[in-house]
Structures are given as C-alpha cells and as structure tokens.
Amino acid sequence: MGHGIAQVALQNGFRVILRDLEDRILSQARGRIEKGFDRLRDAGKIEGGQKAEWLKALTTTTALADLKSADFVIEAATEDFEVKKAIYQDLDGVCPVPTILATNTSSISVTKIAATTRRPQKVIGMHFMNPVAVLRLVEVIRGVDTSAETATATHQLAKRLGKTAVEAGDSPGFLANRILMPMINEAIFVLMEGVGTVEAIDTVMHRGTQHPMGPLALAYLI
C-alpha cells in the first residue's frame, strides 16, 4: 500500500519521502514504483522521460526524523495498534504542529490512534483501496477530535491524487470492509456447507453481479 500511495502522489506532482525500516524494503518499493511507471509508458499513457522526472521527486529513508519537512504524512504500517501507536508517538515528536497525520488503516479506530498523539485534531483516516494505482476510491474517516480543517485538507489532497473521497464513520471496518466482510464470510459458509464449489461461488459473483473477482479469490488476495 505504501509504495502504491507514493506512486500515485509522484504521478500527481508531489514530492514524496518514502520511509521504511530497512534499505532492502525501500529498494523493493522503489522497484515496484518504477515498474508501475513502466506499465503506464508501455500503455502509451506517459512520455518516455516522464518516469525519470517523477523519480527525481522521490526520496527514500529509514530515518523517521527525515519526515520533519512533510506537510502531510500517510502511514501505511501493518494493522497492529501497538505498531501504529509507536509510529504516531514518534511522528508527533518529529513533525511540526501543522502537519496532518493520516492513517491508511482499514479496521483500527482513528479516534484511538489519534489519542496516542498531542494533536488529535490533526489525525484522520485516509483508507486507500488496493491496488492504489488502479482503484479510485479513498475512505476519509474523522476521529472524534479531527478538525474540519483537517478533513477539508484531506479531501483536497484526495482530489489532487485523482481519487474519489467518501466520508465514513469511525466504526469497525468503516464502509468498504463493513459491507465486504459479511459477503466473504457468507461465501466461506456456502463452501463449508457444500452448496457450491469454489469455482461456482466465485463465478456467480463475478459473472452474475459484475464483481471484479469472486469473494473467495478476493479473500485469498487479502
């Protein structure tokens, strides 16, 4: 998710600092971003030199302190509250007061994450869909203390990234996963009860309701 968000930001004219724990991970992320640009070039959607121009705006680092110059930080760490808590407490100490901190969480309370900082009014949910470079939706989730100014800035950023922003309440699963997971669970129950095979279940939802893929294939991808 992190490299996908970075790619989309670069494509839309932003300077990006991509931070992770190891240079090895950052090298892999940069490689994936380059492949994403190559796909656009091969499809005739960008000029040959555009890739190099975009990559000039990308900085990779393992030092969280390098984010001190960021106006907007989007965190896409693993879905573990303790991991996120540590990250947000560090960001709170590094980033200037005006910096907005956005979480790409798909399930953890934005209010709970915001409460680990001294700037809960500047913390918001910005849940991108995967793959980020392809799907245009972003769920914007306000915590209890998220300010209107922070929400407005987040909607403006989503628009500049070419995304459609939809506001969701700070409830487990928000909108997309709150609706999606019962369907996946039901597909698993249907398989368990022998009502249909994996192929039949996925074909019904893919061909019959125009889902991009069946629920079991999607569960496997997730």
Q: Are 108 and 117 in contact (CB under 8 A)?
A: no
CA 187, CA 152: separation in Å to the nearest integer? 38
Backbone angles phi, psi at 61, to 5 degrees: -155, 155
Catalytic entry in 3, 75, 104, 127: 127
Tell me if residue 107 is catalytic: no
Catalytic entry in 12, 130, 147, 177: 177
Terminal Cα-to-Cα distance of the chain (whole angstroms): 12
Catalytic entry in 104, 106, 109, 155: 106
Q: Are 121 and 93 in contact (CB under 8 A)?
A: no
Tell me if residue 127 is catalytic: yes
Tell me if residue 104 is catalytic: no
Buried b (16+ CB within 10 A) or exposed e, 53-65: ebeeebebeeebe
Residues assigned a catalytic role: 106, 127, 139, 177
